[in-house]
A and B are shown apart, each in its own frame.
Chain A
Amino acid sequence: MEVVSALLAAGADQHEANTFGELPLHAAAFTGMDAVLPVLLNALAPPQVDTRTRRGRTPLHLAGAHDRPVRVSQKSILSLVRTRGHSSCISHGPQLGCLAIFS
């Protein structure tokens, strides 16, 4: 987490998507790096929170995609997204059934 903060403080661009269309936010949601989610989310313009990867996944989809016993990042990213008034979870993503994950 501290490495992420240090890079952001040095001016690392977090709007850079990789060749798979993934923003740093996608990766953080997927790996469950909850501590950096607020930092990454707050620096993004609202529409970017719903940015899709090449395979059509939003960060919220990825937060729910990993098969882990404790889904901390699901909850934290969802509450953050709700706080900011986004509807990432309602958006499509047929393979992952985002709404089902959180219901």
Chain B
Amino acid sequence: MHELSIARALLRQVERVARTHGHGAVRGVTVRIGALSGVEPGLLASAFPQAARGSRAEGAALTIEAVPVRVRCDDCGAESEASANRLVCPVCASPHTRLVAGDELLLVSLDLEKADDV
């Protein structure tokens, strides 16, 4: 269960970004999680409120954009959706593929309360 570590790292990052934008509370946090990132969206969602307690993101809504796995084939050029444990080209079965999406682990954006409301 490393999602709690990930949630804590996320909160540190959120605090750092929020600090550069004034004193308002964080109302929303959007992250992008790929199916091959090693992070389970459901576990992150349940770890987040705990990690956020006492921070300015306490009570913030966490939005998780789940990203499916996509591979591009170096041999036939096809770009296709793939499953996490079958990353060879679904079109020509070549093992020479590159992951074009699916390993994302990104803080996309914050929704910050406007400072003048505080």
- Say whether A and B bind each other: no
